[in-house]
Structure 1
């Protein structure tokens, strides 16, 4: 391909390594997609319909589930199509749209985990001020910031990448990724690198540092309190800790993989590792919050019990 061109299509080269395994992979991924969407929709519907769950922590959990559905839809629909296709070309607009959806999904996850950490910090460390600080208005502001800032910051990165003249169209992944596109540039990418660093710092590292800070403060408070108090804190914070640790690991794997040549790795290992952050968190979140938090678990079990009873009566 000639220099200083703007290819109309990108070629996702990692699909070439799947070969005849694409059919069982399609069935497995279709089942995963169906589970992710249905499990997260259950959490969304339960929290939205049950007035007793209209509290800050559950509102944030609802936002996490909405984000999981959003990210899964942005990834799986195209990925499932590519698995069965002989051609793995993706148009330029579709590629940048996929980048935007996947990267905003990743950013939303971290900013939401950050405001959830703040909620737990106030509840544990400043319980007397909880209702005065975590008001409906404050919740609206926090959620708005968690959604709006990543939307604009990621949009800026994608816009700058879309303006680059590219010397090739091969992306060694199973989905479009911003850094892989930037590496195809025929010109200097200093501005892209600077903006990308600022966005990564503000949407990834700052939320991670903030969560670590809040849990350090929570740990210091728990050291001086009773065993009963510690037990309640663990029960309240454990789902968030599990989600945070899981997502931190998957993001670390994705960032590390983006800096190396994936084609030098075992192709199946490379594909599995590159899919972690778009597959594992949306699966784990509804399981952790639906099964660990007793309030959500009780309502889900009660709903299932009522539906079974209704079916028995009809029969």
Structure 2
């Protein structure tokens, strides 16, 4: 017991490739991270600088992209360092911080998607009262809810994890995540409270999912008999539904990896582990950038002006 209380660092054993492959992987990973930063920052700056886009839908989209940057920043710098390092070690506190970042990233994404669904429901199903319901104060409250609730829940999880006595410093992942640390606990009895909080968290965000489905069911019903609403749905709701589908697919892959990953090749496990940090942060700004006309025109206009200069 004295030894387990002295765990001050973890070994991330998920990265098992030769140095030759590491150079290629480092280049691809760096390129991917730079592209994620580029597309998300471009969309965020476009929304912030254009006063015509200071509306609920675009404010929520801006927050969505900011969260994508937040989540990827918790992963890419560390994995880039590990790809160049012969030893893949992370401090105990650093591991908790990374796990906190990963959990809040996923939860905030789902919360923002829920608020986006509510915004589209009000815009299409109750257009006459849209501006009174989705006022700037209401949008600010919804954004704060989407950010603070996941942070509080994740902080509670981290506090519970920090009290566990661990029997091993080896995490079979590319990065730290809550359940991987909890699995290292010496006694199953110590993890009962952690599991209860985890199930409560799961229920909370499953309810978010139910709310999203309920919102879009009503939106689709409203759009069926209205040509104008159908056009609005195709223009503004399709990007939201695409982002939701991308999120659900990547989360399902992660759940599959957690449940059956031990039976898969390590390369496949790594792909499943990082697709949540590659696909949504790249696809979300691209989907919105190409589908929402005002954003597309603004970005293309800016690019054209720069080329003429």
TM over 0.5: yes
CA distance in structure 2 between the partners assigned to 1:153 and 1:281 by the alignment: 22
Matches of 1:245 and 1:171 in 2, distance apart?
A: 30
Name the counterpart of 2:62. Answer: 62
Contact residue 243 and residue 280 of structure 2 kept, 8 A: yes
Q: Is the 8 A contact 1:17 1:267 kept in 2?
A: no
Q: Does the residue aligned with 2:74 lie in a helix, a strand or coil?
A: helix
Aligned partners of 1:9 and 1:91 also within 8 Å = yes
In 2, are the aligned partners of 1:3 and 1:186 still within 8 Å (CA)? no
- Residue 185 of structure 1 aligns to a residue whose secondary structure is coil
Contact 1:172 1:263 in 2 (8 A): no
Normalising to structure 2: TM-score of the pair?
A: 0.96
Q: Which residue of 1 aligns with 2:266?
A: 267
Question: Do the aligned residues in 1 keep the contact of 2:14 with 2:174 (CA within 8 Å)?
Answer: yes
Give every structure 1 segment of 4 or more consecutive aligned residues whose post-TM-superposition deviation is greater than 6 Å.
Answer: none
Distance (Å, rounded) in 2 between the aligned partners of 1:229 and 1:116: 17
Q: Structure 1 residues 65, 74: closer, same or farther in 2, change over 3 A?
A: same
Give the number of equivalent residue pairs.
Answer: 307
Q: Specify the alignment match of 1:200 in structure 2.
A: 202
The 3-state SS of whatever aligns with 2:226 is coil
Structure 1: gaps of 5 or more residues:
311-315
Q: Is 1:213 matched with 2:214?
A: yes
Q: Is 1:139 equivalent to 2:139 in the alignment?
A: yes
- Residue 291 in 1 paired to residue 290 in 2? yes
Q: Give the C-alpha shift of residue 294 in structure 1.
A: 0.3
TM-score normalised to the size of structure 1? 0.94
Q: Give the aligned partner of residue 29 of structure 2.
A: 29
What do you get for the CA RMSD once the two structures are aligned?
A: 1.5
> Counterpart in 2 of 1:162?
162
Q: Distance in 1 between matches of 2:150 and 2:121?
A: 23
Contact 2:104 2:154 in 1 (8 A): yes
1:3/1:194 CA distance change after superposition, 3 Å:
farther
Point out where structure 2 has 5 or more consecutive residues left out of the alignment.
none
> 2:306 is matched with which residue?
307
